[in-house]
Amino acid sequence: MSAQRLAPEITDRDHVQGPADAAVTLIEYGDFECPFCGAAYPVLKRVQARMGERLRFVFRNFPIAESHPHAEHAAEAAESVAAQAGNQAYWAMHDLLYEHQSRLADPSLAQYAGRAGADPEQVLADLESQRYAEMVKESFLSGARAGVNGTPTLFIDRIRYNGPRDEDTLVAALTLVAEEARPG
């Protein structure tokens, strides 16, 4: 297996849902303005619901600014929300960004941040100062080093997944990996 096909280890800088000792981990490199990520969003939510505690889901920023002019600020706003209000607020912001992909200008980002539980004015100040730009860039570069060249890109237990992205196929792939990892 090529090292280029492996996602970096999960760290405390990652945004994670699900238990650390889950049977399988799904990593998504995503772009909040990408229509393909937007289409994958409800599928991944259903996959998470079906897998329950057996799945740890990790989201990493991979904004493709050349195609999506609001993607970097959306990612930075989500990081600002996480820093201000924690993991639960981050995931609320994540969901709001995908649910409102057509409205990602800074005033809308501030509004979503408020709905997610963060201070909207602080988010705007963080965007103005580019406080989280380097963090978003680091996430992007980690993906580029792992061979990510578009979004969404998925990794199952750090190995790139290139199969179909429908709910049933993803659940089957995740379940197979989880069962193979089970001792015994």
Residue with tokens 């100062």: 129
Residue 48 has pLDDT above 50, yes or no: yes
Confidence class for position 147, pLDDT limits 50, 70, 90: very high
pLDDT tier at 4, thresholds 50, 70, 90: very low
Mean pLDDT of 41-70: 98
Average pLDDT over residues 97-112: 98
Q: Is 50 left (phi over 0), alpha (psi -120 to 50) or beta?
A: alpha
pLDDT higher than 60, residue 2: no
| Domain limits for position 163 | 3-181
How would residue 3 be classed by pLDDT, with cut points 50, 70 and 90?
A: very low
**Amino acid letter for position 46:** R
- pLDDT tens figures, 113-136: 999 999 999 999 999 999 999 999
The structural domain count of the chain equals: 1
For the residues of 55-92, what is the DSSP string, one character each? EEEEEEE---TTT-TTHHHHHHHHHHHHHHH-HHHHHH
CATH number at residue 55: 3.40.30.10
184 pLDDT above the threshold of 80: no
pLDDT at 132: 98
- Mean pLDDT throughout 15-29? 97
- Residue 101: per-residue pLDDT: 97
Task: Look up residue 3 and give its DSSP letter.
Answer: G
